[in-house]
Amino acid sequence: MNDQIQQAVIQLKAGYLVGMPTETVYGLAADANNVNAVKKIFATKGRPSGHPLIVHVAAPNPTQANEANQSKWLKVLEPWSRDVSPEALALAEKFWPGPLTLILPKAKSVLREVTGGQETVGVRCPNHPIAQELLNAFAGGLAAPSANRFGRISPTTAAHVRDEFPDSDLLILDGGPCEVGIESTIVDLSRLASDGPVVLRLGAISQEQINGVLTHINSQKRIDRNLESSELPRVSGSLSAHYAPKTKLLLYSAEQLNQLAQELLLDSEKFSKIAWVHFHQQATMNLALKKTVVKEIFLPENPTDLARELYALLRDLDKLSVDLILFQELPSDSRWAAVKDRLGRASVGSGT
Ligand code: TXA
Ligand code: MG
């Protein structure tokens, strides 16, 4: 076992936190069965205690013999959920290890500090070699939210995690930049009988992909709605202001740009330094306003690349000490939905 992993396991067993790379964003991990360790997560992040945490689990050992016809994920999920549905197993089979979190009826032994006092638990099997190595070596579940201070931008490199908690002696495992870059898709399977499966947060795995799997197993009610924030008090990523840079971030559509430029020019004392982020092809701007642009950034043309880069970009923009980030709205087709969602929340919470 690698020294760093061994060190991380010692820290976790002793009730300390560890910065853990995953394919989505870095997590702030604690032993999910240790109340005091879990409480440290909330204290460190400044996160309200009612917000539940995701439990991260190791993938099943492929060499382990399976009992006839049993999904290999059943044994992984049983310690955490008292009722593992065929829907849960089908989604795990298809997307785990990967950027998907399942909300399931919790097993009795799951700590209330992890679930925020709810009867459900979020479980995810991450697809990052270091996360898997750590989970295997630790041989237990790791509760881990994104490793940022509450409401701020999720970290996608080890250096981002260090920046979030500069004063702590947190051990951070460096797994390089995150491949996906935005948080996992969350599917609530805890109220199948009444509501069917419900997507609580979009991520790299789309609603269509989830539907595709559930249609095959004849899930009684298919996902037909994506609950909005008012119905989701417990998902902090669903608060309208989240993932926020400190600099004011204004989203604009290409058609609005000239009108907006006029308005900004009227307020030119307030907005004398602007960062302009946009898709290359629509690069026309009022010349007077363009003089105030101290940084121009071109967005990648596909949503997967932008998801990977978005949080690092927002952090870099925040360091420029500009008065305003002028950010072109993303296309409205469903391929962009997850990254568009994060950008919208970043905009709402920005400038505070
Ligand atoms: O990709 C991810 O999911 C990352 C990496 C580290 O795995 N984790 C992450 O954790 O984004 P966090 O805590 O920043 O966001 C998890 C979201 C929260 O909004 C939380 O409210 C929701 O999942 N959640 C967790 N357990 C839940 C439950 N039992 N019911 C409803 N929502 C739950
Ligand atoms: Mg978070």
Q: What is the pLDDT of residues 319-336, one digit of tens each?
A: 999 999 999 999 999 999
Computed from CA positions of residues 15, 16, 21, 26, in that sequence, does the dihedral angle turn out positive or negative?
positive
- Rounded Cα distance between 335 and 287, Å, is 33
- pLDDT tens, residue by residue, 231-258: 444 555 556 667 788 999 999 998 888 8
Distance CA 27, CA 24 (A): 9
Tell me what pLDDT residue 225 has.
44
CA atoms within 13 A on the CB side of 236: 26
Q: Is 121 in the pocket of ligand 1 (CB under 6 A)?
A: yes
Order across the sheet with 274-278: list the strands.
249-252, 324-328, 274-278, 293-298
Q: Which residues contact 249 (CB under 8 A, 6 or more apart)?
A: 314, 317, 324, 325, 327, 346, 347, 350, 351
- Beta strands 249-252 and 274-278, pairing class: unpaired
Nearest residue (by CA) to ligand 1, atom 12, is 145
First to last CA, the chain: 44
pLDDT at 238: 57
Measured in angstroms, how far is the CA atom of residue 63 from the centroid of ligand 1?
Answer: 30
Which residue among 54, 172, 190 is best mutated to probe the pocket of ligand 1, counting the most ligand atoms within 8 A of its Cβ? Answer: 54
CA neighbours closer than 13 Å in the CB half-sphere of residue 139: 3
Ligand 2: centre distance to CA 144 (Å): 9
Report which bound ligand comes closest to the CA of 22: 1
Residue 91: predicted pLDDT = 97
Other CB atoms within 10 A of residue 230 CB: 8
CA dist., res. 26 & res. 30, Å (int):
13
Measured in angstroms, how far is the CA atom of residue 240 from the centroid of ligand 2? Answer: 13
The pLDDT of residue 237:
56
Q: What is the structure's pLDDT at 108?
A: 97
CA-nearest of 59, 103, 101 to 84 is 103
Q: Which of 275, 243, 219, 237 is nearest to 122 (CA)?
A: 237
Q: Which residues of the chain fall short of a pLDDT of 70?
A: 1, 64-68, 218-241, 281-283
Q: 3-state DSSP helix/strand/coil percent for the chain, to nearest 5?
A: 35, 15, 45
Return the CA Rg of the chain. Answer: 21
Pair type for strands 142-143 and 27-31: antiparallel
Tokens of 332: 């409205």
pTM of the model: 0.93
Rounded to an integer, what distance in angstroms lies between the CA atom of residue 81 and that of residue 179?
29
Residue 224: per-residue pLDDT:
47
Cα separation values, 237 from 28, 51, 130, 201, 203, Å: 16, 10, 25, 7, 11
Closest-lying ligand to the alpha carbon of 113? 1
pLDDT confidence of residue 154 = 96
Calculate the CA 259 to chain-centre distance.
34
Ligand 1 proximity of 156 Cβ (cutoff 6 Å): no
User: Measured between alpha carbons, how far is 251 from 348 in angstroms, rounded to an integer?
Assistant: 10
HSE at residue 132, side-chain half, CA atoms within 13 A, is 12
Taking a C-beta distance cutoff of 8 angstroms, is the pair 153, 49 a contact? no
